[in-house]
Structure 1
Amino acid sequence: MGKPTHFSTKERILAAAEELFAQHGFAGTSLRQVTSQAAVNIAAVNYHFGSKENLINEVFRRRMDVMTADRLRQLETALRDHPGQLEPILAAFIDPALALAQDRNGGAAFVRLIARAYAEHNESLRRFLSDHYGHVLREFGKALSGLLPGLDKETLYWRLDFLAGALTYAMSDFGLIKRPASASEAAHRSRAARELIRFAAAGLQAETK
């Protein structure tokens, strides 16, 4: 019986931390607030995570590991089933992120958390994300470079950086295009993905001067 209890305690802490970090930021959220919302004591946080820094990292790992696996699996499928095609590679990068944003179990909070990560310049978190997930961008860069021989590596990575920013904006659903009442969330996400893929493909293929 001990294992399920530990699992649920850890999940409660992660869920509470995700929501509070999204609302108040990393610096603005205390471990006392997390323990209060999760209905656990500080010893439970220390046992499962050891420190606030590790807790922040694990909040990201919980979501990023799933998205990373989905991206790399879809990239492998795109390269195998659609060789020489740009848009399936872009779909492999974009679709898992938009699916995560629509996840009813905290997806919206995690999107706000990503915005916090950009805004707060948390160097420890940036280092963690780079160390653990930087290889994903490199895999996509490698796949795209073979289809874009006219782009040097630096230009390609500039454009991928812009794509990542546009994707984060699309994940937030904060722009001019709101989901019509007649459209399901899945249909709206699918449309957003299609439009972003076309936009990204055009940007990546733009001539350099």
Structure 2
Amino acid sequence: MSVETRSRRSPRGDNTRATILTAAEKLFAEHGIAAVSHRQIVAAARQGNGAAIGYHFGTTTDLVRAIEDKHGDHIESLRTRTISDMGSSPGLRDWVACLVLPLTDHLSAIGTPSWYARFAAQVLTDPTYRRIIIKNSFESASLHHVVEEIGRALPEVPEQELAERSVMMRTMLIYTCAEFERVLAEGNPSPWPHWPAAAHGLIDGIVALMQGPVTRLD
């Protein structure tokens, strides 16, 4: 019987697993993956068994993947719904909204404080774990479709520049959300009053980025 099966069959195991996930996500978001030990996570989760992470998850990589999966399923369902709700002739802004809104709506639904955006930003800067976020968050079928449609809406932008701007677009999305999440958690002044306002600001910014002039260096 696998570790996951054991915990899933026990309500107590499910509660322990959820508590560990929350503690790990918060610590990873605030300090980075490499700076947090299993012992610190177990202590933050108030678990007496020092081997709890190994029992319920396995390695740190498994724990990072479990945190991403916890959020990724809901974000994916929101994206699928956003795509299906679009009109018959969507434009660039509509497709950018399909990129932004599933994440910001998810973060809004979690409430304050949340840690997922900062967790994702930390993972993206860690060469050991960034592939988990890239694979789960940026290689899903629905997101791949959205990015393709954004490209189709910009026929005047050459392929190389489009690839460069796609990287910038992803970076803008994750790090802007991470910064706003941090500001909300700390109760500091923000340019946006709430997540819907942040989402519309992000959509405006990404549309402007993608439509910007192309400068070639000879």
Shorter chain as normaliser: what TM range?
A: 0.7 to 0.9
Kept in 1, the 8 Å contact 2:123–2:133? The answer is no
Q: CA RMSD in A?
A: 2.8
Other-structure match for 1:134: 138
User: Among 37, 42, 46, which residue is 1:39 paired with?
Assistant: 46
User: Among 70, 77, 90, which residue is 2:78 paired with?
Assistant: 70
Other-structure match for 2:62: 54
1:100 to partner: Cα distance: 3.1
User: Among 25, 45, 65, which residue is 1:18 paired with?
Assistant: 25
Q: How many residues align?
A: 199
Per-residue deviation, residues 120-161 of structure 1 (Å, max 9, x unmatched): x42231122233333245322211122221223332232222
Kept in 2, the 8 Å contact 1:141–1:156? The answer is no
1:177 to partner: Cα distance: 7.1
Instruction: Give distance in 1, aligned partners of 2:121 and 2:15.
Output: 27
In 2 relative to 1, CA 6–22 (structure 1 residues): closer, same or farther, beyond 3 Å?
same
Report whether the alignment pairs 1:94 with 2:100.
Answer: yes
**AA aligned opposite 1:178:** S
1:50 to partner: Cα distance: 1.1
User: Among 9, 14, 28, which residue is 2:16 paired with?
Assistant: 9
1:11 to partner: Cα distance: 0.4
1:74 to partner: Cα distance: 1.4
**AA aligned opposite 2:100:** I
Instruction: Give distance in 2, aligned partners of 1:133 and 1:84.
Output: 23
In 2 relative to 1, CA 106–64 (structure 1 residues): closer, same or farther, beyond 3 Å?
farther
In 2 relative to 1, CA 65–151 (structure 1 residues): closer, same or farther, beyond 3 Å?
same
Point out where structure 1 has 5 or more consecutive residues left out of the alignment. none
Instruction: Give distance in 2, aligned partners of 1:206 and 1:17.
Output: 39
Report whether the alignment pairs 1:144 with 2:150.
Answer: yes
In 2 relative to 1, CA 39–192 (structure 1 residues): closer, same or farther, beyond 3 Å?
closer
Kept in 2, the 8 Å contact 1:75–1:93? The answer is no
Where is the helix percentage greater, Structure 1 or Structure 2?
A: 1
Instruction: Give distance in 2, aligned partners of 1:107 and 1:51.
Output: 27
**TM-score normalised by structure 2 residue count:** 0.77
In 2 relative to 1, CA 21–151 (structure 1 residues): closer, same or farther, beyond 3 Å?
same
**Identity in percent:** 25
Kept in 2, the 8 Å contact 1:57–1:128? The answer is yes
Point out where structure 2 has 5 or more consecutive residues left out of the alignment. 1-7
1:24 to partner: Cα distance: 2.5
**TM-score normalised by structure 1 residue count:** 0.80
Kept in 2, the 8 Å contact 1:22–1:112? The answer is yes
Q: Secondary structure at the match of 2:73?
A: helix
Q: Secondary structure at the match of 2:155?
A: coil
Kept in 2, the 8 Å contact 1:99–1:189? The answer is yes
